[in-house]
């Protein structure tokens, strides 16, 4: 069996940390329990993560890296404006459902009021990225010309975070169309057909997980 690469080892450690934080919260997670989950001694784990804070920072770094990859992917696909924004939102949601490390990093940002250190400005960066696409949309006439793209971008992010948390905390409610609240924001700035745009875009490969009836809760419970 080939020796795992450093990147593979790191990913394995981050997955164990994500699972531990998901079960016990950041305060309740311990390096010992993460090591036990991996069949490692705490000493071997300490070679990679000397402290719990290092675990959190590694989760943040990984999450920021994923956000960067998702943005690059949308640009590489030649998308701009509303199409770029909706594709980015759809891929981010998809990633949140399938990647526990990404989800753990996001949960830590949401719950970071209690963390004993400064968290990175991920939300500011996301708002900036969404605002850039909305600015293209403004230039291209896809949204009202007097739209405050910064405020609209903040609303888009709030729509993603709010929907995620409310759905995680109301497991018995019926499933809802993907990005419904984000569509409401886009409607309010003049995009009448954002559902149709998303439907067209999802023909490129996102359709399966955007189907109604799919359950995101297990993955997204903060």
Q: Which residues bind its own copies (CB under 8 A)?
A: 21-28, 107, 109-115, 119, 121, 123-124, 127, 150-151, 154-155, 157-163, 165-170, 172-174, 176, 180-181, 183-185, 187-188, 221-222
10 or 25: CB nearest its own copies? 25
Residues recorded for the chain: 222
Q: What value, to the nearest 5°, has the Cα angle with vertex 218 and ends 217 and 222?
A: 75
SS3 115: coil
40 or 82: CB nearest its own copies? 82
Residue 23 CB, nearest approach to its own copies (Å)? 8
172 or 203: CB nearest its own copies? 172
Give the DSSP H or E segment for 200: helix 194-202
Residue 6 CB, nearest approach to its own copies (Å)? 30
40 or 178: CB nearest its own copies? 178
CA dist., res. 28 & res. 175, Å (int): 31
84 or 127: CB nearest its own copies? 127
Residue 7 CB, nearest approach to its own copies (Å)? 28
CA dist., res. 76 & res. 160, Å (int): 23
Neighbours of 107 (CB within 10 A): 24
Residue 199 CB, nearest approach to its own copies (Å)? 17
- C-beta of residue 110 within 8 angstroms of C-beta of residue 222: yes
Residue 206 CB, nearest approach to its own copies (Å)? 21
Is the four-CA dihedral 157, 169, 213, 184 of positive or negative sign? negative
């Amino acid at each position: 069996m080939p020796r795992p690469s450093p990147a593979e080892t790191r990913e394995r450690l981050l997955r164990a940390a994500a699972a531990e934080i998901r079960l016990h919260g950041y305060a309740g997670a311990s390096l010992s329990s993460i090591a036990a989950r991996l069949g490692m001694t705490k000493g071997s784990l300490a070679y990679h993560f000397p402290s719990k804070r290092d675990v959190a920072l590694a989760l943040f770094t990984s999450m920021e890296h994923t956000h960067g990859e998702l943005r690059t992917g949308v640009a590489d696909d030649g998308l701009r404006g509303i199409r770029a924004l909706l594709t980015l939102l759809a891929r981010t949601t998809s990633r949140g459902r399938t990647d526990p490390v990404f989800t753990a990093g996001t949960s830590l940002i949401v719950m970071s009021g209690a963390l004993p250190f400064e968290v990175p400005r991920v939300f500011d960066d996301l708002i900036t990225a969404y605002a850039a696409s909305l600015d293209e949309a403004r230039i291209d006439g896809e949204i009202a010309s007097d739209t405050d793209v910064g405020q609209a971008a903040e609303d888009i992010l709030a729509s993603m975070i709010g929907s995620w948390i409310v759905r995680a905390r109301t497991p018995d409610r019926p499933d809802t169309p993907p990005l419904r609240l984000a569509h409401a924001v886009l409607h309010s700035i003049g995009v009448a057909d954002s559902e149709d745009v998303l439907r067209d875009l999802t023909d490129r490969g996102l359709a399966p997980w955007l189907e109604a009836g799919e359950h995101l809760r297990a993955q997204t419970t903060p």
